[in-house]
Amino acid sequence: MRNETNKIGFLLMLLIIPGLYGQYSESDWKDRDEWMKVSYIFEMAGVEEGNVVADIGCHQGYLSIRLAKYIGETGKVYSVDVREDRLNKLNDIATERGIRNIHTILGDYDDPKLQQQSLDVAFIIDAYHEMKDYKQILLNVKKALKPDGRILVLEKLKNEMIGKSRQEQTLAHTISPEFVKNELTETGFSVTDLKKDLGYWEEDPDKKIWVLLAVLP
């Protein structure tokens, strides 16, 4: 009876653990590669080997890890987050995988603390809607980009929030591309590409992925 109980407990643990940590497992990350179309967004942003890029709002580093491999050892990834525990986790993952071109930065809510004219591309993936001081963030990103630098923003728009105010959308952890496009334009960027239907976030048909690319004029 005890063996049966132990087996049941082990099976339950296998079910629970992916829910807690699955987004950081390689298998789940590979799934995300598919539904987020990572290769496509890297091509859209014009990322090349040896580039210097930033992952702003990096969480625990899914995109940073992918970027680090894509740009190679001669490139650099600056991974920015406002939570030190997330950056510590990313450093652990990078060390475990032998990745040496990721540099973590503890940013402020209005400043990613990036060096001026240091970046080829800045990525903000599923984080822009959380940024209350988004205009100041954009101005600081603008300063951090090289003269031919780009910024790529990818977000999800929930079906039930279409047509709602910006505040209503961001409270629901979502945002429409129209708001972001206008805000980029207001801060001096030129939007060069916008895809409003890149697929579905976590393959949920109620959460449509959109992505845009902007450059310095």
Domain residue ranges in the chain: 24-215
Can you name the CATH fold of 24-215?
Answer: Rossmann fold (3.40.50)
List of residues 6+ apart from 129 with CB closer than 8 A: 155, 169, 170, 173, 174, 175
What does the pLDDT average to over 148-158?
Answer: 98
Q: How confident is the model at residue 9 (pLDDT cuts 50, 70, 90)?
A: very low
> Residue 82 is inside which H or E element, if any?
none
Q: How confident is the model at residue 168 (pLDDT cuts 50, 70, 90)?
A: very high
Strands 119-125 and 102-106, sheet pairing: unpaired
